[in-house]
């Protein structure tokens, strides 16, 4: 029997983790059970008050987020605000698989962390994006996992084959449209339906978004010559509940054709269960990945300007957060990587 606990169980990330766990074959067979569900302002409530869609767990009580309540679980998911994971992780034993959905342990550079987050760097854990070369080997032997940010997941998957093959380096432009659930489950005027419906607005532009160094780190880490990248990242809040549509552009060597790039991407992702490279000329739709752990990709080349244009679509709460966390858990526990992770969206 393997037991899990979820800290931050009533937030969007926490409830999405629980949705996936309820559909996991190990849970359905009795091999996996749910230990503690913890929160902050929801302590003492029943989970059904905050996540009525999780019917099997509706009567579970929300406990305080303390190390004492989380101890005893084999796997602890931390779905907490940035800066809260470090002390909890230290209090949990080295045999506990701790999977952090916040940013606390993603960055390798202490100076970048301090610049973007304004606090002391807590350290670096193995990165929970298995599609990055070498990541699976690290995840298979660790008891600490840093789940990527939602924007870096979509952007990294969009650019990974091009960076890994050395086709791109230097300046890269990334623009991502995101659903409002990416801001978390909180009351704020700018996220009200009346404010977001029929509107779209960019925010944290010109290098100010905290995910910028994470995208840069991922691309520089796979380039065969260690070339540096200068990422210009623009997030855009869009009138949808969930999903991220990313468009990434970068200069290509002269003479690079669309057929060459398409072949590079198809070969790189040929064995990846959660990345689907669309045929040339077809663009991804967010609605086709909502609720799934999939990333749909489209590759194009502007041959007049030798510019790569890649579009990716993910669900920010599934592949971008909770799905990546469960995928990493499966690898770390030696289970089938795809277990409990949906690949088919509802339509229409």
Residues contacting residue 334 through CB under 8 Å, at least 6 positions apart: 140
- Residue corresponding to tokens 């080349």: 301
Cα 51 to Cα 24: distance, rounded to the nearest angstrom:
18
Nearest 10 degrees: Cα torsion 287, 288, 292, 295? -110
CA distances from 281 to 38, 86, 173, 278 (A): 46, 45, 21, 8
Count Cβ atoms within 10 A of the Cβ of residue 29 and give its class: 0-12 exposed, 13-18 middle, 19 or more buried: exposed
Q: How many other CB atoms sit within 10 Å of the CB of residue 298? A: 22
DSSP helix/strand/coil, 75: strand
Q: How far apart are CA 222 and CA 199, in angstroms?
A: 37
- Tokens 């342990």 locate to 105
CA-based radius of gyration for the chain = 20
Cα–Cα distance measured from residue 334 to residue 317, given in angstroms and rounded to the nearest whole number: 24
- 196: tokens are 């977001």
Distance CA 281, CA 276 (A): 14
CA distance 195 to 186: 15
319 touches 292 (CB < 8 A): yes
- By annotation, the residues acting in catalysis are 150
Q: Name the packing angle between helices 110-117 and 212-222 (round to 10°).
A: 160
């Amino acid at each position: 029997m393997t037991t899990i606990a979820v800290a931050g169980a009533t937030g969007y990330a926490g409830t999405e983790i629980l949705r996936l766990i309820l559909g996991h074959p190990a849970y359905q067979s009795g091999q996996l059970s749910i230990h503690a569900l913890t929160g902050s302002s929801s302590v003492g409530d029943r989970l059904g008050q905050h996540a009525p869609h999780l019917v099997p767990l509706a009567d579970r009580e929300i406990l305080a987020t303390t190390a004492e309540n989380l101890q005893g679980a084999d796997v602890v998911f931390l779905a907490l605000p940035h800066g809260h994971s470090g002390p909890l992780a230290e209090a949990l034993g080295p045999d506990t698989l701790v999977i952090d959905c916040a940013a606390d342990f993603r960055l390798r550079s202490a100076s970048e962390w301090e610049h973007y987050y304004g606090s002391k760097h807590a350290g670096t854990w193995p990165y929970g994006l298995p599609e990055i070369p070498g990541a699976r080997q690290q995840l298979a032997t660790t008891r600490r996992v840093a789940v990527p940010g939602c924007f870096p997941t979509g952007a990294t998957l969009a650019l990974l084959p091009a960076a890994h093959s050395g086709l791109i380096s230097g300046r890269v432009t990334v623009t991502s449209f995101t659903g409002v659930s990416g801001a978390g489950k909180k009351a704020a005027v700018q996220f009200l339906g009346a404010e977001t419906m029929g509107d779209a607005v960019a925010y944290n532009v010109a290098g100010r978004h905290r995910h910028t160094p994470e995208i840069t780190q991922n691309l520089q880490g796979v380039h065969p010559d260690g070339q540096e990248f200068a990422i210009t990242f623009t997030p855009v809040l869009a009138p949808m509940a969930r999903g991220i549509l990313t468009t990434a552009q970068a200069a290509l060597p002269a003479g690079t054709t669309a057929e060459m790039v398409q072949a590079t991407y198809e070969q790189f992702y040929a064995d990846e269960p959660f990345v689907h490279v669309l045929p040339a000329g077809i663009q991804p739709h967010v609605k086709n990945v909502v609720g799934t752990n999939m990333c749909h990709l489209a590759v194009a080349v502007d041959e007049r300007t030798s510019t790569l244009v890649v579009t990716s679509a993910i669900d920010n709460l599934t592949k971008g957060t909770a799905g990546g966390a469960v995928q990493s858990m499966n690898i770390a526990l030696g289970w089938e990587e795809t277990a409990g992770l949906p690949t088919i969206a509802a339509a229409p």
